[in-house]
Amino acid sequence: MRVYRVGGAIRDMLLNFPSIENDWVVVGATPSQLIDLKYRPVGRDFPVFIHPKTGEEYALARTEIKTGHGYKGFKFHAHPSVKLEDDLIRRDLTINAIAEDSSGTLIDPCNGQRDLRKKVLRHVSSSFVEDPLRVLRTARFAARYHHLGFTVANETMQLMRSVSEGKELDCLNPERVWKETEKALLEKSPQVYVKILRQCGALKRLFPEIDQLFTAEPSNHKIHAHGSTTLMALEKIAKLSDSGPIRFAVLVHRVGEMVNCSPKLFPTSNPLDLRISILRALFDRLKTPKKYRELGLTFATHYKPFCLVPHLESSELLKLVLAISDKSSTCKFENFLLCCDGISNGERGGREKMCVTASFIRSAIEIVNSVGISDLELKGLQGRQIGQEIRNVQLAMLDEFKQNFFGHKTLEESN
């Protein structure tokens, strides 16, 4: 029995890139041998075991044959006769097909070290197209190593296009799509993930709502700009926050906005309602976790009113405050504010304007939250009447606050 460290840990070691976990391949062993050594079996599709002390994954060397559609459409063969090289050449990219033995010697049958030096993401073999998840993984690695100068090899991009044009992407379940996307959002350059998926055609298949931001209509060329500005915002927010929900909210905040530009298609519908419906459909399809969904919907719904604060009526201001704040925590508003910072452009005075707006909203939140039942003269009011009275007091206080804050000037004039 021989054990080798493989894949990402070796790749990142050679790149001097932080790596948080090791993966191991075991050659010349059987499942019963590992179980006798107290390894715990966890793999349902192929033999994977957890080390009894380190908790790291150890997989028996294996080969695979394509038998169906999707990333699960494989038949695996794990046997003591399977060689290390046989296991390595079934992997996705050359830089992931490097192993290290117990003495530190590297085994590199696919020239992964060469591609690390050239900073190229290259497929190991034409079998790359058999697993559609590899399209997403390659885009994610492009996002991870973009700042180091890595690019996708032209021939690999061609294979990714081939996968996107076929039906294999349709076989990916939403959980796997979301898992890869969430990982990509947390990489150093998440905007590259979107760019690569769009370049190979996978964005249109998996995320048509986002892809539509890049699609210009003959009657309105502004739609095309939505995509490029969204990518710039995603690049900016990645430098401001490492929060997945915040980055995701910035990515999707303009989804569905093209309906505002196409009144002939939706003559009797509320554009905001349509946008939110489109966004909800995206979240439902991806099975997006609650924390991503909540911030995404809140930001998409209210980022425009936030930018128009000086012009809002007190009732509109109250609605905004209640939507983006939380009495028990300032976290909700601070996350919303970070998203706003991400989409703000670099125009002169833009940063100062947003700071003034943020200061104004913070004060408005304090005013709204300061009003309680104990402050009111209820005079026999009950049920909804109490809530309406609280609202009336909040509106009156916001009216006074706005007048004192702005006077007769708009926010732009105040700056």
Round to whole Å and give the CA distance between 396 and 400: 6
Round to whole Å and give the CA distance between 169 and 133: 8
Cα of 337 vs its chain's centroid, Å = 18
Which helix (H) or strand (E) segment holds residue 225: the answer is helix 222-240
Residue 89: what residue type? I
* Higher pLDDT pick, 114 / 61: 114
Pair 336, 354: CB distance under 8 Å = no
Torsion angle, alpha carbons of 139, 143, 146, 150, to 10: -30
Which residue has 């947390």 as its token pair?
A: 186
Strands 23-27 and 57-60: parallel
CATH homologous superfamily of domain 1-109? Beta Polymerase, domain 2 (3.30.460.10)
Torsion angle, alpha carbons of 378, 384, 390, 391, to 10: -150
Q: What local confidence, expressed as pLDDT, does residue 66 receive?
A: 57
pLDDT for residue 63 is more than 80: no
Residues found in the chain: 415
> In angstroms, what CA-CA distances link 249 with 36, 283, 301?
49, 11, 11
| pLDDT level of residue 265 (50, 70, 90 thresholds) | low
Instruction: At 317, list the tokens.
Output: 């201001």
Span 279-302, pLDDT tens digits: 999 999 999 999 999 999 999 999
Range 59-71 average pLDDT:
70
**Cβ count within 10 A of residue 392:** 12
- Write the burial class of residue 81 (CB in 10 Å: 0-12 exposed, 13-18 middle, 19+ buried): exposed
Which residue has 């998203």 as its token pair?
A: 339
Range 198-221 average pLDDT:
83
Q: What local confidence, expressed as pLDDT, does residue 47 receive?
A: 84
> What residue ranges do the domains of the chain occupy?
1-109, 308-415
Range 83-102 average pLDDT:
94
Residue 125: what residue type? S
Predicted structure pTM score: 0.88
Q: What local confidence, expressed as pLDDT, does residue 5 receive?
A: 95
Round to whole Å and give the CA distance between 375 and 359: 25
The torsion angles phi and psi of 81, rounded to 5 degrees, stand at -80, -15
Looking at 37-128, list the stretches that DSSP marks H as alpha helix, in order from N- to C-terminal side.
84-88, 112-118
Torsion angle, alpha carbons of 337, 340, 346, 350, to 10: -60
User: What SS3 string covers 186-200?
Assistant: CCCCHHHHHHHHHHH
Lowest mean per-residue pLDDT among 57-66, 69-78, 127-136, 281-290: 69-78
Span 367-410, pLDDT tens digits: 998 887 665 665 666 667 777 888 888 999 999 998 888 664 44
Range 6-23 average pLDDT:
90
Pair 273, 257: CB distance under 8 Å = no
- Helix and strand numbers (H, E) in the chain are 19, 11
Pair 73, 39: CB distance under 8 Å = no
| pLDDT level of residue 62 (50, 70, 90 thresholds) | confident
